[in-house]
């Protein structure tokens, strides 16, 4: 069976590769957009829980987390809201890679400003541990945005519902959004929301187009091998074996597409994160779930594309198939 599948796929190598390439683009898109979305959620989880806060308050509808700007005075007002135990003003600035440093080393953040490392800390929060901490006034000065912070970290009083307090603060202060869970990250990050929404639409189209492409390839393959199928039926092949042969060929195309698509997806995700404003803040996160979705897409396209050709092949009787030229 495996030998027949490979031989049939190699009969028309150009057609097989073109079909696999179309499916690979869809797989790559799925992997890229999901890895970026997962990376946004991971960054959000680390950022909103800095200092063991219960949630973070951001400016709504900004292109990414680092572009959120809130008046520093808002922290005092939020601290007075019912259910709020404490707040902290955080200013996020991206200044390059300052990790792997020791006490006494010099961390240069701009040509004109540098700092001596006074101590090394470990909080258990990957986002916080990958950075450096300076007073908020210094951070505002470095960003040339005095009186403005990136986010306000909020700790909720014991016995209070985090979700209820967050919703109340959002209503009390228009133009802000409270992020309590990583899955809510796209409420702030409009660029990621656009990527995810657009990506799913394109992925659906890719699923349809890929399915049509596989259907066309397999239908042509069945049409070209009618007499061969008739001979197989005549020598005792049952309909399920004929169907398994057609499905196996479609799955072979899907496996080729999966290998190429995973590589394309990883490359595209890194290119995107390295050449956008989120570079250094959001990195693609290639979890098992991300690759599982890519596998599911490839298999889905293969099964959809093999449905009609398989039905057509198993309906052929040996006499009918052998009569055709």
Q: Which phi and psi angles does 2 have, rounded to 5°? A: -60, -40
Is residue 100 domain-shared with residue 60, that is, in the same domain?
yes
Residue 317 tokens, joined: 């009787």
Is residue 140 domain-shared with residue 261, that is, in the same domain?
no
Decide which of 179, 207, 239 is a domain's last residue.
179
3-class SS of residue 182: helix
Please tell me the total count of domains within the chain. 2
Which of 78, 75, 115, 79 shows the shortest CA–CA distance to 98? 115
Is residue 165 domain-shared with residue 237, that is, in the same domain?
no
One-character DSSP codes across 14-75: HHHHHHHHHHHHHHHHHHHHHHHHHHHHHHHHHHHTGGG-SEEEEESSBSSGGG--EETTHH
- pLDDT for 193: 67
Is residue 81 domain-shared with residue 162, that is, in the same domain?
yes
Is residue 156 domain-shared with residue 275, that is, in the same domain?
no
3-class SS of residue 108: strand
Is residue 63 domain-shared with residue 94, that is, in the same domain?
yes
Does residue 213 belong to any structural domain of this protein? yes
Q: Which domain holds residue 196?
A: 2-42+191-323
For every one of its 325 residues, what pLDDT tens digit does the chain have, with 9 covering 90 and above? 777 778 777 878 888 888 888 888 888 888 888 888 787 777 777 777 776 788 888 888 776 677 788 998 999 999 999 999 999 888 877 665 556 778 888 888 777 778 888 888 877 666 667 778 888 878 777 777 788 888 898 999 998 999 999 999 989 999 898 888 776 666 666 666 676 677 778 778 877 887 888 888 888 877 777 777 778 877 888 888 888 888 888 888 889 999 999 999 999 888 877 766 554 566 788 889 889 988 998 888 888 888 888 888 887 777 766 665 5
Question: Residues 53, 64: contact at Cβ < 8 Å?
Answer: no
Is residue 22 domain-shared with residue 112, that is, in the same domain?
no
- pLDDT for 131: 76
Decide which of 179, 204, 229 is a domain's last residue.
179
Q: d(Cα 174, Cα 169) in Å, to the nearest integer?
A: 9
Question: Residues 50, 128: contact at Cβ < 8 Å?
Answer: yes
Question: Residues 63, 190: contact at Cβ < 8 Å?
Answer: yes
Residue 306 tokens, joined: 């093999």
- Could you identify the residue written with the tokens 């020598």? 235
- pLDDT for 52: 77
Decide which of 132, 159, 179 is a domain's last residue.
179
Does residue 237 belong to any structural domain of this protein? yes
Is residue 34 domain-shared with residue 76, that is, in the same domain?
no
pTM: 0.69
Is residue 63 domain-shared with residue 104, that is, in the same domain?
yes
Does residue 143 belong to any structural domain of this protein? yes
Residue 89 tokens, joined: 């003003």
The CA-based dihedral angle spanning residues 314, 318, 319, 324, taken in that order and rounded to the nearest 10 degrees: 70
Q: d(Cα 7, Cα 10) in Å, to the nearest integer?
A: 5
Q: d(Cα 164, Cα 170) in Å, to the nearest integer?
A: 10
């Amino acid at each position: 069976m495996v030998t027949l599948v490979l031989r049939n796929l190699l009969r028309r190598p150009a057609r097989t590769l073109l079909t696999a390439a179309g499916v690979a683009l869809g797989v790559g898109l799925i992997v890229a957009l999901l890895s970026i979305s997962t990376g946004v959620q991971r960054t959000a989880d680390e950022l909103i829980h800095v200092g063991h806060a219960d949630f973070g308050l951001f400016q709504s509808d900004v292109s990414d987390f680092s572009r959120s700007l809130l008046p520093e005075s808002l922290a005092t007002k939020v601290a007075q809201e019912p259910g709020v135990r404490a707040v902290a003003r955080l200013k996020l600035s991206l200044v390059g890679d300052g990790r792997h440093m020791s006490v006494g080393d010099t961390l240069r953040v701009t040509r004109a400003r540098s700092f001596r490392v006074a101590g090394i800390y470990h909080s258990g929060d990957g986002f916080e541990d990958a950075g450096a901490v300076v007073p908020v006034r210094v951070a505002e000065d470095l960003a040339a945005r005095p009186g403005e912070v990136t986010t306000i970290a909020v700790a909720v009083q014991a016995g209070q519902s985090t979700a209820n307090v967050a919703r109340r603060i959002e209503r009390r202060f228009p133009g802000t959004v409270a992020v309590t869970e990583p899955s809510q990250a796209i409420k702030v990050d409009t660029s990621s929301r656009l990527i995810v929404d657009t990506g799913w639409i394109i992925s659906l189209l890719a699923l349809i187009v890929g399915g049509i492409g596989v259907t066309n390839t397999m239908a042509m393959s069945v049409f070209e091998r009618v007499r061969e199928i008739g001979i197989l039926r005549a020598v005792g092949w049952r309909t399920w074996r004929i169907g398994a042969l057609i499905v196996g060929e479609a799955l072979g195309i899907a496996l080729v597409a999966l290998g190429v698509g995973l590589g394309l997806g990883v490359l595209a995700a890194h290119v995107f994160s390295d050449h956008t404003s989120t570079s250094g803040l959001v990195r693609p996160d290639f979890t098992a779930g991300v690759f599982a979705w890519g596998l599911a897409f490839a298999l889905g396209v293969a099964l959809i594309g093999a449905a009609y050709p398989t039905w057509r092949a198993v309906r052929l009787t040996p006499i009918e198939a052998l009569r055709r030229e």
